[in-house]
Amino acid sequence: MNPDLETATAAHHHVFCTCDPDTLDAPWKAGLCAVLHAEGPAAIGQLLDAFLSAEGASISRVLTRVRRVARLDAHDDATPLSYFGQALTQMVNYRWRAKDGPGASAVFNYSRNLLYILEAETRSCIREDRRRGLLDGHAGVPGGASQDRKASHVNKSRQLYEIESECQPSDEELVAFHNERMRATRKDAARQGVLIARNDLQAPKAVPLDQAFTEADSRLSLNSAGGAAAVEWSDRIETILARCEQFDLTRERSRKRRLKRETVKAADVAKVYFAHHTIGEFPTRSEIIERLGATEPAARRELGARLRAVLEVAREEFADYWRAR
């Protein structure tokens, strides 16, 4: 048997684990830690299967909440499970695994509440497909919003290439130019999911279910990509999350003694606060406390301080919006 698979099945962290010591016993942490340190698609697939099998009961409870909140059919198990798989794959590939060098990213290393994170991501995937009409009589394309954002970035790269070279780029030239631009302008282009391959210039379309046999793959029309404002908001919120993660890391390193209780991290507060920003919904302080489980008085006070820090960072990132009003 694959040694990585044995590690995951035994519910132990990978031998090269870099997780924060306070998070080692967090639910789902050991199985996903092994996934993130696995080498090769085959090993990753085996470990994901082992994780899904070992955590079936807790995943089922999460999907029950997803089904209720998202107003899905109470007897439909396949749809929420499919979206959970989509959310898990996106988090593994674009958040926790995509980075320079071995191991997992700090986003994963310091996460304690993976159940809530993946539940929120699953609901976000469902909400986005519903917004695009892909849950109401259409066969949809999971991740449509990310395709729109990526298309907008590629469209900008195409325009810059045409200005610089005074000619239309080939697919290979466009891919190379775009990826070089993203690496030069982004802190972590791979983790932010903005790098492309030639296949990304093709995109499947949503088609009615009664026409599901129809050929759906065609050239991606980059000129019809999603609104630039939504893309810019998402980019700025990514920056806010990155700053909060750095703030948490600096604070933990400067701590002279370790607390007996779990601390509240600004990055976790920011993720909860901006989880539904695409539809204009922002939680109250009480809702954030409930979602993070910060019920102890000390944790509630700490959460208040972290929320103020998050809002201060957000005001700085969106300062030009306020000046324009």
pLDDT tens digit string along 150-179?
777 888 888 888 888 888 888 888 889 988
User: 82-93: per-residue pLDDT in tens?
Assistant: 899 889 988 888
Q: Which two tokens stand for residue 232?
A: 């810019």
What pLDDT sits at residue 242? 86
What pLDDT sits at residue 63? 92
What pLDDT sits at residue 60? 92
Q: Is 138 strand, coil or helix?
A: strand
**Beta-bridge partner residues of 202:** 219
Tell whether the model's pLDDT for residue 59 goes beyond 90: yes
Sign of the Cα pseudo-torsion (266, 26, 15, 32, in order)? negative
Tell whether the model's pLDDT for residue 11 goes beyond 70: no
The phi and psi torsions of 15 (rounded to 5 degrees) equal -60, -25
- What is the overall mean pLDDT for the chain? 76
User: How crowded is residue 285: how many other Cβ atoms within 10 Å of its Cβ?
Assistant: 13
List b or e across 162-175, with b for residues whose CB sees 16 or more CB atoms inside 10 angstroms: eeeeeeebeeeebb
In this prediction, residues 281-295 reach a mean pLDDT of: 80
User: 241-286: per-residue pLDDT in tens?
Assistant: 888 888 888 888 877 666 666 788 888 899 888 887 766 677 888 8
Tell whether the model's pLDDT for residue 299 goes beyond 70: yes
* Nearest residue to 28 (alpha-carbon basis) of 60, 51, 62: 51
In whole angstroms, give the CA distance from residue 320 to residue 325.
9
What pLDDT sits at residue 251? 82
In Å, how far are 63, 150, 185 from 171, measured between CA atoms?
A: 40, 15, 21
**Beta-bridge partner residues of 208:** 138
User: 183-201: per-residue pLDDT in tens?
Assistant: 888 877 776 777 888 877 7
In this prediction, residues 211-236 reach a mean pLDDT of: 45
Give 71's pLDDT tier (boundaries 50, 70, 90).
confident
| Amino acid at residue number 141 | V
DSSP H stretches of helix in 104-143: 106-109, 114-131
